[in-house]
């Protein structure tokens, strides 16, 4: 019998999927898009995401734990579905690639100004490959380890209290957003949560004992809580107008840490964040791999890992400067947000149709 | 298997490629200090001096150049230095008074924009001749950069309350209810000296808090720990004598009683409260201090003295339009966003009615309770 995921693994895996490069810039994104006390907007969006997760839970319940592919194929002919699989696979490959490349571009800017970013990206892709050749169970275990390897960063928090002041929060709410309030801005912040929808790929790896959605919700709210904490620290540590201008507030906050045996902790901290991006890329790669695998039932997943990673690597060539990476990330995240909300609706309709087809 | 080997070889090749970004310690010149002042004669140009400590830590290499921007000057330093000049270990940015009076912003921004510069880098106003100060030998030990770093960090005049760095400067510069600060350092016969605090409006240096007042200013700006309050003339009913409090702990709170009213033209009203507690370790008076009533009257006299000095400081800030304490932040937090944005706080601040209320307790009287 295949091993099933347990609730802790699911929670931490989900936390790691949701965390990616966006965490460095979240305080700025919330300040710029929501305005003063923008961190409250983050809570609101977290609840929206939670509602979306709840929709997946309905799918899980209605489908009785069947994989989403089974649900879809019970309701529609494969010929119709395959183009969608292909399109989704491309989208997920793009997400994985652009998240990874953006991470590398930031890393390069901070520490390896004279390195070829694609060289760093190759190494990143090698890590992606080694994880993709393993089963989902191993990916989940690896992400649990990564989670604990990066979790010590929380210990640095008390360091900022001395320079923290509630006065800087201001008492106004949602004022002074850079371009006013608009949907595009909210989507930009919402992108931080994107990744939870991959819980649909966990369906076949769980049973009743796994408590899949308990894990997913715990992971999601853990992510919300950790980022909220970071944001609250940031809003009292920097001034509001400053946060709107700082490219990577979280990284500058780490620059402030000075221990008697070590200063400029930021350059030590940043590589640890690679785990977050790595697991996001791996899981989007995994989603793409599953979709492609569904179209090529004769090819084993292991043999698909290399071409999938290859595609992630090649897509990494597309954005070569920050602006491009930002534009591409925004594009794929926006589409993915649409997919994340549309998918459960379509699946619910398909489940109804599938039932009817069976009944007839 | 052959494929795996091939991939392995490729990987090794790729990783070796990473060695192009070498940072050999012996080939890098770590800039510790940057000094920028306006150039004589040309108002668009700046005079940039950098100091790179040698490996023996007691001497440093100093370059200077006149250019339009910092980076333009740095090119010239690179031409002369036998090691690549980098900013990763930058400890302080010094601004000359002339430039600071015109505004430090574009130059400070240019340095901060470099991701290798840390936000802990001190921002300091330097009075004196940089050429002499940077090459001088200091009996306090080390190069100017190292000495300065330690001096500012522990700043005895204020107990390091305003260890002014890029972080504090940027934070307060961007904030709309408070103005940034910078330590002032000057050269003396046998070293360097903290010469007070520079008050800014935006990025312009407008006024100076003398170092004698620094501790009082520190109490106004933030909570203070282990400070020393030196009082020259404490007026009790009978005499006017010097006294001083040591190990002072003070807690500050600001109460905004009313925000400025546009229609009636009423200014803002605020009360700044200080709770001060310290040991009386110096007293030149003749009152017997083991009498409780005398202790209390001494406390009252001290409260009056401290209050007077604090109020003088606030008037100084108001005259300079520089709200270095952050009354504006609190006024802002009492107003709605639109009305605050319509208000020009740096014009409103000088008109504000600010009172200081002091609550001072003498914790103990040192080794001489019986006098």
Let me know if A206 is exposed, middle or buried by CB neighbors in 10 A (0-12, 13-18, 19+). buried
Q: Give the rounded percent of residues in chain A with a pLDDT score beyond 90.
A: 70
Q: What is the mean pLDDT of chain B?
A: 89
Q: Per residue in A74-100, is it b (16+ CB within 10 Å) or e — as a string?
A: bbbeeeebeeebeebbbbbbbbbbbbb
pLDDT tops 80 at residue B94: yes
Grouping H, G, I as helix, E, B as strand and the rest as coil, residue B364 is strand
Q: Phi and psi at residue B93, in whole multiples of 5°? A: -110, 120
Which of A177, A238, A306, A310 best tests the B interface by mutation, with the highest count of B CBs <10 A?
A: A238
- The model carries a pTM of 0.90
Which of A122, A170, A242 lies closest to B171 in CB terms?
Answer: A242
Please state, as a whole number, how many other Cβ atoms lie within 10 Å of the Cβ of residue A166. 11
Please state, as a whole number, how many other Cβ atoms lie within 10 Å of the Cβ of residue B342. 9
Contact A316, A169 (CB under 8 A): no
Question: What's the pLDDT band for A284 if we cut at 50, 70, 90?
Answer: very high
Task: Please give the order of strands across the beta sheet that includes B122-127.
Answer: B60-67, B46-53, B33-38, B92-96, B122-127, B181-188, B191-201, B204-209
Instruction: Give the nearest chain B residue to A127 (CA atoms).
Output: B11
Instruction: Give the nearest chain A residue to B23 (CA atoms).
Output: A112
Which residue's entry shows tokens 């961190």? Answer: A39
Condensed to tens digits (0 to 9), the pLDDT of residues B246-288 reads 999 999 999 999 999 888 889 999 999 999 999 999 999 888 8
Which of B112, B118, B221, B341 best tests the A interface by mutation, with the highest count of A CBs <10 A?
A: B118
Which of B174, B336, B337 lies closest to A242 in CB terms?
Answer: B174
pLDDT tops 70 at residue A2: no
Tell me whether A171 touches chain B (CB under 8 Å): yes
Q: What is the pLDDT of residue A358?
A: 64
Q: CA torsion angle for B273, B196, B323, B181 (degrees, to 10)?
A: -120
Q: Which helix (H) or strand (E) holds A6?
A: none
**A39: closest CA among A245, A231, A296?**
A231
Q: Residues in chain A, how many? A: 360
Residues in B touching A245 (Cβ below 8 Å): 174
CB contact under 8 A, A170 and B172: no
CB contact under 8 A, A114 and B175: no
Lowest mean pLDDT among A337-341, B306-310, B365-369: B365-369
Contact B237, B274 (CB under 8 A): no
Q: How far is A234 from chain B (nearest CA, A)?
A: 11
Running DSSP on this structure, what letter comes out for residue A241?
Answer: H
Residues in A touching B119 (Cβ below 8 Å): 252, 255-256
Question: What's the pLDDT band for B23 if we cut at 50, 70, 90?
Answer: confident
Q: What is the pLDDT of residue B131?
A: 84
DSSP B191-255: EEEEEEEEEEETTEEEEEE-GGGHHHHHHHHS-EEEEEEEEEEEE-SS-EEEEEEEEEEEEEEEE
Please state, as a whole number, how many other Cβ atoms lie within 10 Å of the Cβ of residue A181. 12
Q: Phi and psi at residue A36, in whole multiples of 5°? A: -60, 145
**A102: closest CA among A347, A354, A318, A336?**
A318
Q: What is the pLDDT of residue A1?
A: 44
Q: How far is B173 from chain A (nearest CA, A)?
A: 8
Whether this model's ipTM surpasses 0.85 comes out as yes
**A149: closest CA among A261, A285, A268?**
A268
Q: What is the mean pLDDT of residues A82-106?
A: 95
Question: What's the pLDDT band for A259 if we cut at 50, 70, 90?
Answer: confident
Which of B18, B87, B115 best tests the A interface by mutation, with the highest count of A CBs <10 A?
A: B115
CB contact under 8 A, B21 and A115: yes
Token pair of A353 as six digits: 């149709």
Round to the nearest angstrom and report the end-to-end CA distance of chain A: 34
Q: What is the mean pLDDT of residues B83-91?
A: 89
Running DSSP on this structure, what letter comes out for residue A197?
Answer: G
Which of A119, A245, A256 lies closest to B14 in CB terms?
Answer: A119
Instruction: Give the nearest chain A residue to B88 (CA atoms).
Output: A264
Q: What is the mean pLDDT of residues B179-183?
A: 94
Condensed to tens digits (0 to 9), the pLDDT of residues A34-54 reads 999 999 999 999 999 999 999
Q: What is the pLDDT of residue B160?
A: 67
Q: What is the mean pLDDT of residues B17-32?
A: 76
Q: What is the pLDDT of residue A232?
A: 93
């Amino acid at each position: 019998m295949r091993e099933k995921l347990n609730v802790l693994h699911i929670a931490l895996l989900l936390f790691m999927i949701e965390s990616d490069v966006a965490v460095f810039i979240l305080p700025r994104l919330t300040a710029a898009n929501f305005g003063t006390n923008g961190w409250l907007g983050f809570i609101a969006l977290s609840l929206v995401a939670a509602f979306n997760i709840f929709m997946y839970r309905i799918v899980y319940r209605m489908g009785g734990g069947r994989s989403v592919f089974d649900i879809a194929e019970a309701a529609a002919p494969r010929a119709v579905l395959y183009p969608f699989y292909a399109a989704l696979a491309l989208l997920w490959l793009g997400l994985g690639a652009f998240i990874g490349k953006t991470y590398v571009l930031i890393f390069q800017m901070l520490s390896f100004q004279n390195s070829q970013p694609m060289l760093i990206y190759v190494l990143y892709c090698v890590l992606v490959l080694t994880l993709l050749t393993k089963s989902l169970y191993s990916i989940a275990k690896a992400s649990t380890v990564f989670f604990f390897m990066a979790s010590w960063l929380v210990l640095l928090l008390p360091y900022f209290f001395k320079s923290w002041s509630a006065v800087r929060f201001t008492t106004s709410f949602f004022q002074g957003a850079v371009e006013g309030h608009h949907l595009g801005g909210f989507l930009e912040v919402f992108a931080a949560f994107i990744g939870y929808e991959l819980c649909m790929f966990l369906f076949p790896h769980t049973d009743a004992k796994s408590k899949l959605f308990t894990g997913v919700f715990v992971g999601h709210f853990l992510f919300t809580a950790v980022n909220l904490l970071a944001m609250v620290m940031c809003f009292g540590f920097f001034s509001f107008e400053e946060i709107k201008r700082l490219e990577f507030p979280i990284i500058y906050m780490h620059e402030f840490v000075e221990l008697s045996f070590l200063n400029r902790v930021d350059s030590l901290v940043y590589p640890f964040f690679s785990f977050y991006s790595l697991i996001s890329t791996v899981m989007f790669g995994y989603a793409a791999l599953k979709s492609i695998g569904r179209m090529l039932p004769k090819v084993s997943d292991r043999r698909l890992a290399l071409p999938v990673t290859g595609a992630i690597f090649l897509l990494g060539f597309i954005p070569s400067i920050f602006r491009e990476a930002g534009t591409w990330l925004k594009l794929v995240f926006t589409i993915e947000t649409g997919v994340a909300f549309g998918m459960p609706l379509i699946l619910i309709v398909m489940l109804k149709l599938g039932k009817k087809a069976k009944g007839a | 298997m052959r494929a795996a080997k091939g991939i392995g070889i490729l990987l090794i090749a790729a990783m070796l490629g990473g060695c192009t970004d070498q940072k050999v310690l012996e080939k890098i010149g770590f800039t510790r200090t940057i000094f920028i002042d306006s150039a004589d004669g040309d108002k668009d140009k700046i005079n940039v001096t950098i100091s790179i400590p040698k490996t023996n830590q007691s001497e440093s290499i100093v370059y200077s150049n006149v250019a339009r921007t910092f980076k333009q000057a740095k090119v010239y330093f690179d031409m002369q230095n036998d090691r690549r000049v980098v900013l990763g270990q930058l400890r302080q940015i010094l601004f000359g008074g002339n430039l600071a009076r015109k505004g430090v912003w574009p130059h400070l921004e240019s340095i901060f924009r470099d991701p290798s510069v840390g936000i802990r880098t001190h921002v300091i106003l330097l009075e004196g001749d940089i050429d002499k100060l940077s090459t001088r030998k200091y009996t306090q030990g080390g190069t100017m950069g190292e000495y300065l770093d330690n001096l500012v960090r522990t700043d005895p005049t204020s107990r390091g309350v305003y260890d002014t760095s890029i972080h504090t400067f940027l934070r307060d510069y961007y904030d709309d209810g408070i103005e940034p600060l910078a330590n002032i350092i000057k050269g003396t016969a046998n070293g360097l000296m903290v010469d007070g605090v520079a008050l800014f409006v935006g990025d312009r240096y407008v006024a100076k808090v003398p170092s004698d007042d620094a501790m009082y200013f520190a109490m106004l700006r933030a909570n203070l720990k282990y400070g020393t309050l030196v009082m020259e003339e404490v007026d009790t009913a009978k005499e006017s004598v010097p006294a001083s409090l040591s190990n002072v702990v003070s807690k500050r709170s600001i109460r905004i009683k009313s925000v400025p009213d546009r229609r009636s033209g009423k200014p803002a009203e605020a009360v700044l409260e200080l709770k001060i507690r310290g040991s009386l370790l110096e007293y030149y008076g003749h009152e017997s201090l083991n009498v409780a009533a005398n202790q209390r009257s001494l406390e009252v006299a001290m409260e009056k003295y401290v209050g007077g000095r604090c109020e003088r400081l606030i008037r100084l800030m108001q005259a300079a339009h520089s709200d270095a304490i952050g009354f504006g932040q609190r006024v802002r937090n009492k107003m709605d966003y639109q009305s605050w944005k319509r208000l020009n706080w740096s014009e409103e601040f000088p008109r504000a009615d600010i009172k200081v209320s002091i609550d001072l307790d003498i914790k103990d009287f040192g080794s001489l309770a019986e006098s």
